Amino acid sequence: MNKISLRLFGIAGILGGLVLFAGDMLFYYDATSTDLLQNMGKASDTRIMASGLSALVAMWLYLIGLGQVYMAFKSVKKWIRNTVLVCFVAIVTSYGVVHAAYVAIATSAKIAIENNLNLKKTTILALETNDLLRVLGYPLFGILSILFISQVWKRKTLYPRWMVFFFPLLLFLFSGIFNNILSGKLWVIINGGFLNLLLVIFYTASTIALWNTQVKKDVFLTPEIKK
């Protein structure tokens, strides 16, 4: 597998993050309001539909991007490499599913605003369903975090150690800081698209880290190196 393939995988992942971030903004962004739920209810039908569609396109790009991660882990034990891949696939798939489920929230909010209904009561079922979808991904994210961080830190992958600091878990720890220091339009942009911005950062760092790396063509057939 040549350098160009590695780079293209990474670029696909970056584009996936940017597409879904744009989808977030179609739901959330309003120049005059920082109430995300109300903003969703005021979004046009076209914006809601386009945002829902962005979830599918972004998920395809995210999954293509994982080819880069899989090749970076080619030198670790096979069960670790495959577990990392399965967890990553499950997580980025959930990104798409959860985002698409926001269409129900936006539609419910839109109905509430147009008919002067209680916004929270009208959207509660859609919100609770969305929260349930998120919960199912937490255990997988925990497993992925342990394996990814430990293997990269031990230098068993093609990634340099600094890649650990761009893994989504560590970046997510700063979400509370951003919530407290940002306000107005910038708060809506960062807070509304935070999770997808994390993956944009991750795929960008991964692409930079592997930019000049040459991987053998038989990477998918290469037996793991016992460490």
pLDDT on residue 147: 96
Predicted structure pTM score: 0.88
Three-class secondary structure assignment of 124-181:
HHHHHHHHHHHHCCHHHHHHHHHHHHHHHHCCCCCCCHHHHHHCHHHHHCCHHHHHHH
pLDDT digits (tens, 9 = 90+) for 126-169: 999 999 999 988 999 999 999 999 999 999 999 999 999 999 98
pLDDT on residue 41: 93
pLDDT digits (tens, 9 = 90+) for 88-133: 999 999 999 999 999 999 999 999 999 999 999 999 999 999 999 9
Per the CB < 8 A criterion, the answer to whether 123 and 105 are in contact is yes
pLDDT on residue 187: 86
Local structure of residue 31 (DSSP, 8 states): T
55's tokens: 């979830």
pLDDT on residue 221: 40
